[in-house]
A = this chain, B = another copy of it.
Amino acid sequence: MEILQSTEEMIARSRAWKAEGRRIGLVPTMGYLHRGHRSLMALLRPQVDVLVTSLYVNPLQFGPKEDFSRYPRDPEGDARACEAEGVDLLFMPMTFFPANFRTQVAVSGITSRWEGALRPGHFEGVATVVARFFGVTQADVAIFGEKDYQQLAVLRAMVRDLAMKVEIVPGPLVRDDDGLALSSRNVYLTTEQRKRALTLHQALFAMQAAKEKSVEERLALGRRMIDCDQLDYLAVVDADSLEPVEQLQGPARVLVVGRYGATRLLDNVELQ
């Protein structure tokens, strides 16, 4: 496996691959890789000629009071994980944005609620960095985990609206043995917080299973079950528009974010 730290070299490499007609796959990450990330690499590996994993903690998507500076990092462990998953090139840019960078990609509508409302500028930072990653790597296909369900919806809208040639593949959410959704941020949790955090997925599963109940009743059930310091939101939404639904008609999703101390934990499940 090759490691590139220069964005200029990555740009040159991707252009050379395209000239050779190679199909390029991209797994964009912020590092501190867990089994969730590895499942994305494993899913994409058989679909492409060249598998690229990028590792970049994107400052644009963190708010001023968020955890950018303390976001967990483990570049050596990450490189081993990528190698084990058959990644061809690990792209770890020292400098990703050019001097005088001044372009922003923004998706409106689906960003107005949930994470978008609670983290102003977050999805603009995500869309912008991902648009540039697509340009830099010339990815034909890129995979994003359903753990960040709203992010996936935002990026699908961007790709469709700008007619980008890249195909977006969703990767199923991966859970730890105790059921907690895998996240690089789980490392922030104390043992006591982690135990209480298990009520998040327990509540989601109970809401999913309560097929005879109304949306309102399921939300009440979920709220009763969740034990967290602050419930940022628990919502039943349309799977595409992410607008809240009062009755189940088409595909829907339950989204939840609970806080444990300063740590925000996201989870979601399908509802039908």
Contacts and interface: CB of A to CB of B under 8 A. Distances in A.
A61 interface: no
A106 interface: yes
A42 interface: no
Given A98-B161, A163-B132, A106 B104 contact: yes
Interface stretch (A107-115, A180-188, A260-268): A107-115
A161 B107 contact: no
A109 B105 contact: no
B98 A108 contact: no
B103 A162 contact: yes
Question: So how many copies of this chain end up in the complex?
Answer: 2
- Which of A102, A136, A157, A165 has the largest number of chain B CB atoms within 10 A? A102
B102 A162 contact: no
Nearest to A131: B162
A199 interface: no
Q: Is the interface of A mostly helix, strand, loop or mixed?
A: mixed
Contacts of A100: 109, 157
Contacts of A11: 163
A103 B158 contact: yes
Most chain-B Cβ atoms within 10 A of its Cβ — which of A109, A161, A163? A163
A190 to B, nearest CB: 40
A109 B103 CA distance: 9
B106 A103 contact: yes
Nearest to A104: B106
Contacts of A164: 135
A136 to B, nearest CB: 4
A3 to B, nearest CB: 19
A107 B104 CA distance: 6
Given A103-B161, A105-B162, 7 more contacts: A102-B107, A102-B108, A103-B105, A103-B158, A104-B108, A135-B163, A135-B165
14 contacts: A18-B165, A21-B21, A100-B109, A100-B157, A102-B157, A103-B107, A103-B108, A103-B161, A103-B162, A104-B106, A105-B106, A132-B161, A135-B163, A136-B163
